[in-house]
Amino acid sequence: MTSIQEGQTPAAKTGEALDAALATVRANISAFDGSYPDDTTSGGVYLPRPAKGQFPAGANRGWTTSFWPGMLWLGWELTEDEQFRGAATANIASFAERAEKEIDLDTHDLGFLYTLACVAPWRLVSDERGRSAALLAADHLMTRFLEPAGIVQAWGGLDDVTQSGRTIIDSLMNMPLLYWASEQTGEDRYASAARRHTAQLRDHIIRPGGTTFHTFYWDPVTGEPLRGSTQQGYTDDSCWARGQAWGIYGFALNYRYTKDESFLDAARTCADYFLDHLPADGVAYWDLDFTDGDEQPRDSSAAAIAVCGLIELATWLPDGEARAHYRERAAWIRDALTADYSTAGHPESNALLLHGVYDWPSSVGVDEGTLWGDYFYLEALARAVLPDWTLYW
Ligand code: GLY
């Protein structure tokens, strides 16, 4: 565990931002009362995850539930307050049961889910149940690896012909679970799948000019790359802001575990386009095709992910102008979020960040707080005050 050392004083505004964010996370422990909140706020407030099919309200389903324990583990590292650790630990049983009983596992998002809910407690407090559950999740993720395309299928069951051979840029963030599984087991097959998957995205999901597709299809039988398309972006050939941010952080994390320079170059390509297409205040519109003057919402969650990604990218660059540039742009965006998008001074909301967009084309979670935006904002603040912070990813 990394905690703030004596004499390591964060910039006052970052310290205040952190205090405000942690006060909200602390209040949410009792507000959520052991239930999982919905993916996004409704009118600025998180409600319990709605009941769906066999799942009662507040159940552990979907791809975003782990951002809550992720915030709690960060809270514990930042404060050493046992209330955070207790609330974070309480989630492990639910994630273990989900993996053991194979509940709602037909997704590539097992990386998001199990890295924050189960790898984090293994890294921080050597929690064995967390480790076993994360290894089960990694095994399940491997069942989605499609030969000969060399990609992990993103969505749907493996028999779902509409999703067969399709992956999405977000998937890059799910690869650290596979590198971790290789470290833990000594078996290279997990890491090898992650390397192949990332190389396919490097070659096909990034377009000439540095924009990215949200999703891309391969022929599941021959492995031939077919076509890009969007799901949550404005059009098939626009550049969905959160996808570009996943690209920055995801390729940089894949570099961390492989030291494949082409992955670091891919992260830079995503970063340069993202930074060149920001509005004046530094917080991206939900699709990078929009800018100042467009009557469109921002996506604060894309901004928060990009901050973490830019810091990760800078970590791996040699000391020099480029590294300083990405660090400076990360701090600029983070400070913009704190100043104008955080809920400090907005007690009516229990999110950390306002003005996120989940899925504009489907009108879901538009101009709301988002669980992942909150997590990455807190990670961005933690990275600012704990420069030696050990990643959960
Ligand atoms: N990973 C899903 C999203 O970013 O909306």
Residue nearest to atom 1 of ligand 1 (CA): 170
**Residues above pLDDT 90, as percent of the chain:** 96
The band of 13, judged by pLDDT with boundaries at 50, 70 and 90, is confident
In a domain, 354, yes or no: yes
Question: Ligand 1 centre and the CA of 49: distance in Å?
Answer: 17
* Whole-number pLDDT of residue 381: 98
Mean pLDDT value of segment 74-103: 98
Question: Ligand 1 centre and the CA of 170: distance in Å?
Answer: 6
268 lines ligand 1 (CB under 6 A): no
The band of 2, judged by pLDDT with boundaries at 50, 70 and 90, is low
* Whole-number pLDDT of residue 246: 99
Domains held by the chain: number: 1
In a domain, 111, yes or no: yes
In a domain, 301, yes or no: yes
Residue nearest to atom 2 of ligand 1 (CA): 170
In a domain, 144, yes or no: yes
The band of 390, judged by pLDDT with boundaries at 50, 70 and 90, is very high
Which ligand 1 atom lies nearest to the CA of residue 243? 4
Question: Ligand 1 centre and the CA of 13: distance in Å?
Answer: 29
Whether 10 has a pLDDT exceeding 60, the answer reads no
329 lines ligand 1 (CB under 6 A): no
In a domain, 4, yes or no: no
Mean pLDDT value of segment 383-393: 95
* Whole-number pLDDT of residue 387: 86
* Whole-number pLDDT of residue 3: 59
Which ligand 1 atom lies nearest to the CA of residue 232? 5
Reduced 3-state DSSP string for 156-222: CCCCCCCCCCEEEHHHHHHHHHHHHHHHHHCCCHHHHHHHHHHHHHHHHCECCCCCECCEEEECCCC
Which ligand 1 atom lies nearest to the CA of residue 246? 4
Mean pLDDT value of segment 269-293: 98
Peptide bond into 279 cis (omega under 30): no
Residue nearest to atom 5 of ligand 1 (CA): 358
In a domain, 2, yes or no: no
In a domain, 392, yes or no: no
Whether 336 has a pLDDT exceeding 80, the answer reads yes
Note the pLDDT tens digit of each residue in 180-194: 999 999 999 999 999
Whether 76 has a pLDDT exceeding 60, the answer reads yes
* Whole-number pLDDT of residue 334: 98
Question: Ligand 1 centre and the CA of 374: distance in Å?
Answer: 13
Measured distance CA(161)–CA(383) in Å, rounded: 41
Range of the domain at 372: 12-385
Q: In terms of pTM, does the model score above 0.75? A: yes
Q: Are 37 and 48 in contact (CB under 8 A)?
A: yes
242 lines ligand 1 (CB under 6 A): yes
Mutate to test the pocket of ligand 1, among 39, 63, 173 (most ligand atoms within 8 A of CB): 63
Note the pLDDT tens digit of each residue in 229-250: 999 999 999 999 999 999 999 9
* Whole-number pLDDT of residue 11: 72
Question: Ligand 1 centre and the CA of 320: distance in Å?
Answer: 33
Residues 6+ apart with CB under 8 A from 54: none
> Which residues carry out catalysis?
109, 170
For residue 20, what is the domain's CATH number? 1.50.10.10
170 lines ligand 1 (CB under 6 A): yes
**What are the φ/ψ torsions at residue 240 (nearest 5 degrees)?**
-65, 125
In a domain, 393, yes or no: no
108 lines ligand 1 (CB under 6 A): no
Q: Are 348 and 40 in contact (CB under 8 A)?
A: no
Whether 163 has a pLDDT exceeding 60, the answer reads yes
* Whole-number pLDDT of residue 322: 98
299 lines ligand 1 (CB under 6 A): no
Give the chain's mean pLDDT: 96
* Whole-number pLDDT of residue 196: 98
Burial class (CB in 10 A: 0-12, 13-18, 19+), 226: middle
Which ligand 1 atom lies nearest to the CA of residue 173? 1
Mutate to test the pocket of ligand 1, among 232, 249, 357, 366 (most ligand atoms within 8 A of CB): 232
Question: Ligand 1 centre and the CA of 168: distance in Å?
Answer: 9
Measured distance CA(72)–CA(29) in Å, rounded: 9
Whether 9 has a pLDDT exceeding 60, the answer reads no
